[in-house]
Amino acid sequence: MTSPFPDPDPAPAPAQPDGQAGYDPAFLGPIVPLPHPTDPDIALVTLPYTHFTVLLRPDRRLAAATAVGIDGGRLVDLKREGQWRLDPRVPEAQQAGEALYADNDFDRGHLVRRLDPVWGDDAEVRAANADTFHFTNAAPQHAAFNQGKQLWAGLEDFLLTHAATFDRKLVVLTGPVLRPADPVYRKVRIPLAFWKVVAFLQDGALAATAYVLDQSPDLPNASAALAAAEAADQPPPLGAYRTFQVPVSDVADITALDLGPLPAVDLLPAPPSPAPTAPGAEPGPDRWRPLGRHEDIVLGPPR
């Protein structure tokens, strides 16, 4: 059977352009390294931008993870301006560009939020804003907003205000959950869930919390509906957005990414049910805490 996907030849990390220093693992003081795959067969390309880094997975044409340092005390509320474009450091066949988003209800969803790296001097601010409009920093999300997606959009703001206690700084790691069974649309497998891990200093010590945004199909015959959508060149049908606070270790499990010291400093109390046993596995019902508002987030003592 012929694969519907291009057969990219994963390249080494491209040279770092002047001015694009990327994410700083020492941004908070304690080292929070970039995630890396626990599966030796998964190759990622490291793409540094201004104040953030994208870890591109060429075989999926999407980022596996992004990392950004947010300096809350220096953020600039820059007017939204920017044009989505491909990154010239990466072959076009390894990026999901405008063809994926044309004439449908998919948003080009920023993985690193547009304003998160927009801090510093004027040149840094403008460069960071422009850098977030690379397609390597985008993932398809359905355009219909609801409470779950609104919660997701405001997580960093809430945690900057209520959790970070050292110069209002955060490190945010985020990305799609790239499951092998994700539905195909225009030769790209569409992720049905997204994850976010936020690290900060609390009482002088490293702390972290983790979240999942799930937009999986909620249909009686999901497989048939997905197949019919693909045959008609229509986006896959998606269920309502649901936002959960989850153990950091569960994010590591479902993404097959090593998250360094962050699972050990999770502020969510240890859940009673077992962890997922494989990437994409369903968690136990007691492990993921549904969020209806930001105030539902648990910021308890590290376990």
pLDDT over threshold 90, residue 3? no
79 CB-contact burial (10 Å; exposed 0-12 / middle 13-18 / buried 19+): exposed
pLDDT at 236 over 80: no
Residue-level pLDDT at 256: 95
More confident residue, 150 or 209: 209
| Choice between 152 and 62, residue whose per-residue pLDDT is larger | 62
What are the extents of the domains in the chain? 36-296
Q: How confident is the model at residue 218 (pLDDT cuts 50, 70, 90)?
A: low
Q: Which of 122, 111, 182, 97 is nearest to 152 (CA)?
A: 111
> pLDDT tens across 253-295, in order?
999 999 999 999 999 987 766 666 555 555 655 789 999 999 9
* Higher pLDDT, residue 226 or 5: 226
List C-alpha distances in Å: 151 to 145, 157, 158, 163, 190. Answer: 10, 10, 10, 16, 21
pLDDT of 240 above 50: yes
What pLDDT is attached to residue 13? 41
User: In the CATH hierarchy, which fold is given to the domain comprising 36-296?
Assistant: Extracellular Endonuclease; Chain A (3.40.570)
**Spatial contact of 138 and 108, defined as CB atoms under 8 Å apart:** yes
Residue 215 has pLDDT above 90, yes or no: no
**pLDDT over 50 at 12, yes or no:** no
Averaged pLDDT score across all residues of the chain: 84
**Strands, E, within 161-241: which ranges?**
169-176, 184-185, 188-189, 193-202, 205-214
Query: What element of type H or E holds 129?
Result: helix 122-131
**12-29 mean pLDDT:** 71
Q: What is the pLDDT of residues 130-187, one digit of tens each?
A: 999 999 999 998 776 666 778 888 999 898 887 666 778 999 999 999 999 888 888 8
Beta strand extents in 114-269 (DSSP E only): 138-142, 169-176, 184-185, 188-189, 193-202, 205-214, 242-246, 257-258
Task: Give the separation between CA 27 and CA 122, rounded to whole angstroms.
Answer: 20
For 204-221, what is the mean pLDDT?
81
Place of tokens 């993985």: 111
Predicted model pTM:
0.87
Mean pLDDT to the nearest integer, 52-80 = 93
Q: What is the pLDDT of residue 153?
A: 86
Q: pLDDT at position 10, please?
A: 40
In this predicted structure, the answer to whether residue 211 has a pLDDT above a threshold of 70 is yes
pLDDT recorded at residue 5? 39
User: What pLDDT does residue 17 have?
Assistant: 47
Region 121-132 average pLDDT:
94
Confidence check: pLDDT of 112 > 50: yes
Is 10 or 223 the better-scoring residue by pLDDT? Answer: 223
How far is the C-alpha of 244 from the C-alpha of 86, rounded, in Å?
Answer: 32
Q: Quote the strand ranges of the chain, DSSP E.
A: 36-37, 45-48, 52-57, 62-71, 106-110, 138-142, 169-176, 184-185, 188-189, 193-202, 205-214, 242-246, 257-258, 289-290
